[in-house]
Every structure is written in C-alpha cells, then in structure tokens.
Structure 1
Amino acid sequence: MARLDRTDFEIIREMQKNARIQNKALARRVGIAESTCLERVRKLRDDGILTGFYADVDAASVGVHLQALIALQLSKHSRETVERVREHVARRPEVVAIYHLGGRTDFLLHVAVRDADHLRDLILSAFTSHDEVAQVETSLIFDHSRADAWPIYPPEAR
C-alpha cells in the first residue's frame, strides 16, 4: 500500500469536499505548487487511493421512487457459493450497494426500484428463486443520508 504523508491526506480531505475542485485552487488550499499538486493527485489515482469521482443524482428524477435494504441468508457458505451470489446480485441494475457481512445476515443489499411491484418482482425473480438463498428479509427505506467524506486517520493519529 502506498505511504501517504500529511499533504496527501490534505489533498484527499479537500477532494472529498469537492471532487471537481480545480488543480489551482486545490494546490493553494494545500499549500503546494500546482505542478506538484497535479502529480500527487495522479499518483493517488494510480495507486488506487482515489478510486473514482461521481455525481449525486436526485433519485426521483431518474424514476427511483422506492429504496430498500434486502438481507440475504445463504443456505451454504462455501467460497464458491458466496462468490456466485455476490456476482449474481452485482449484475442487477437495481442493486446500488452490496455488503458481505459476518453474522446472521450474509449479504445486505441496498436496492433502488420504481415502485412496490418492481421491488416484489426483483425479490421473487432475483433472490428467492435461487437455491443458494435460504431467507430474504426486506426493509423499506423511508429516508437516508450519508456522510460526504470518509474520516481520515493519518498515521500520527494512531
């Protein structure tokens, strides 16, 4: 894993606030030369530390009117079964997040669908119809929010 210094952490902090920040403004905020800043951002991307940039989209404007968390319990827990289920759910366009968990629930899926009929059809066709899935529990999401940034723990904070 790449070794990060204080400047790298500052770049990451600033980019989490605004991934579209111009290099000139980023360099000024972090206190380094523009060319140095550009090179550091490229290295953070190349090293897989900055993994992507995205736009937040209003769900309703793209036809998503219902979101849910679907807990899956598997009938078997072999590596092959877990990988097969993960690959299967990852191919579903309705699945926006997959969490592989320890404990009673094996997978927790965040899904985004048009409506209740779409949710029912998804559960029946994509999950309960598979032998690997022993149990499905669905919770509707009434509202949600997420942090705008990951917490940053530089090595000196440990």
Structure 2
Amino acid sequence: MRLDRIDFAILRELRKNARLPNKTLAERIGVAPSTALERVRRLREDGAIQGFHAEIQPKAVGIGLQAMISVRLARHARGDLDAFHAYLLTLREVLGFYHVAGANDYLVHVAVHDSDHLRDFALDAFTTRAEVAHIETSLIFTFRRNPDLPIYLDGADDE
C-alpha cells in the first residue's frame, strides 16, 4: 500500500473525527468530494483504515474505575501466547491489551464498576490461569486519547 499526502491528510482528519461528513472532509483536505469518497474507500479496502469507533463516556455505561494490569507469564511458548490472547478477548472487562517486552509480558487495560469488581476480576481472570506467574494492578485516574496522528513516512508533510 502506497500512501500520498492526500491519504495522510484524510487519515489525520478521520482520526480527529471519524463521523466527518465527506463534503467537509473534502473541503478540509482540498479535493473534490468524489475524490475524498474514493480515497476513503480505498484506504478501508487496503487496510490502512481498520475501523471506526465511538469514544464512550465510561460513567454513562457504569464504568467507575479503569486499571492497567501488568501480567507476567510463566512460559513463553507460542501456544501459550496465542491461547492467552484469545482468552483476553473473551473478557468483557478488557478494553484492550498490549503484548510488551520488559519485566512483564502484557499490559491489560480493564474497565470495571468499582474496586470490589476490580479485585474479583483480577483474582478470577488471572490468578486462576496456569500460564500466569504474576500480576500487578495500577489504577488509571485519567485517560485521554490524542486525536493527532504521527506519520513518519515520506510524503506525509507533517503539519
């Protein structure tokens, strides 16, 4: 997939607001609406755009607490990693996870109702798993997504 400055501009605008009307998107990047529509379609088909998501106010859905749970595995066999990935995706409290290098193997972003829910979830979801050797929980006081998008490829014309 080869992207040019127009593609990069589209990605930046959609990162800020994925519900931006096509006409407005076209005006902001300086192309015809038909060009913007076709470019977005191609970016989706090529996989540069993987999806569109709504940012939800946690309290609106009963989330009172978020945490990052660091997980260290006992073994690092491919099968164990694949099984753990699949397992994490089955847990409704898991918002996302990172497989990382360092002292721990995973950072798991979770959303729960309260501290009792967090304690019970951590004990039930992780300490019962044979592949998990250690967990450590860090509370998240504030989370903000940066709407800007760093692009490091030639032709991006960083603004």
The interval holding the TM-score normalised by the smaller chain is over 0.9
Secondary structure of the residue aligned to 2:60 is: helix
**Structure 1: stretches of 5+ with no match in the other structure:** none
Q: Name the structure 2 match of 1:135.
A: 134
**CA deviation after TM superposition for structure 1 residue 112, in Å:** 0.2
Measure, in 2, the Cα distance between the counterparts of 1:145 and 1:34.
31
2:47 matches 1:48: yes
2:74 matches 1:86: no
**Structure 2: stretches of 5+ with no match in the other structure:** none
Measure, in 2, the Cα distance between the counterparts of 1:21 and 1:143.
26
Secondary structure of the residue aligned to 2:34 is: helix
Partner AA of 2:109 in structure 1 = H
Alignment map for 1:17-36 (pairs within 5 Å): 17-36=16-35
Secondary structure of the residue aligned to 2:47 is: coil
Q: Name the structure 1 match of 2:149.
A: 150
**CA deviation after TM superposition for structure 1 residue 26, in Å:** 1.2
Partner AA of 1:32 in structure 2 = V
Partner AA of 1:148 in structure 2 = P
Structure 1 residue runs of 4 or more that deviate by more than 2 Å after TM superposition:
none
Q: Name the structure 2 match of 1:102.
A: 101
Over the aligned positions, Cα root-mean-square deviation in angstroms equals 1.5
**CA deviation after TM superposition for structure 1 residue 156, in Å:** 4.2
How many residue pairs match? The answer is 157
Checking the alignment, whether the CA contact within 8 Å between 2:5 and 2:155 is kept in structure 1 is: no
Measure, in 1, the Cα distance between the counterparts of 2:94 and 2:107.
10
- TM-score normalized by structure 1? 0.94
Measure, in 1, the Cα distance between the counterparts of 2:68 and 2:100.
13
Secondary structure of the residue aligned to 1:155 is: coil
Measure, in 2, the Cα distance between the counterparts of 1:107 and 1:33.
44
Measure, in 2, the Cα distance between the counterparts of 1:146 and 1:27.
25
**CA deviation after TM superposition for structure 1 residue 12, in Å:** 1.0
Checking the alignment, whether the CA contact within 8 Å between 2:70 and 2:107 is kept in structure 1 is: yes
Measure, in 2, the Cα distance between the counterparts of 1:36 and 1:56.
28
Checking the alignment, whether the CA contact within 8 Å between 2:73 and 2:133 is kept in structure 1 is: yes
**CA deviation after TM superposition for structure 1 residue 144, in Å:** 2.1
Checking the alignment, whether the CA contact within 8 Å between 1:68 and 1:139 is kept in structure 2 is: yes
Checking the alignment, whether the CA contact within 8 Å between 1:9 and 1:154 is kept in structure 2 is: no
Partner AA of 2:14 in structure 1 = M
Deviations 1:7-38 (A, max 9, x none): 11111111112211111111122121211111
- TM-score normalized by structure 2? 0.93
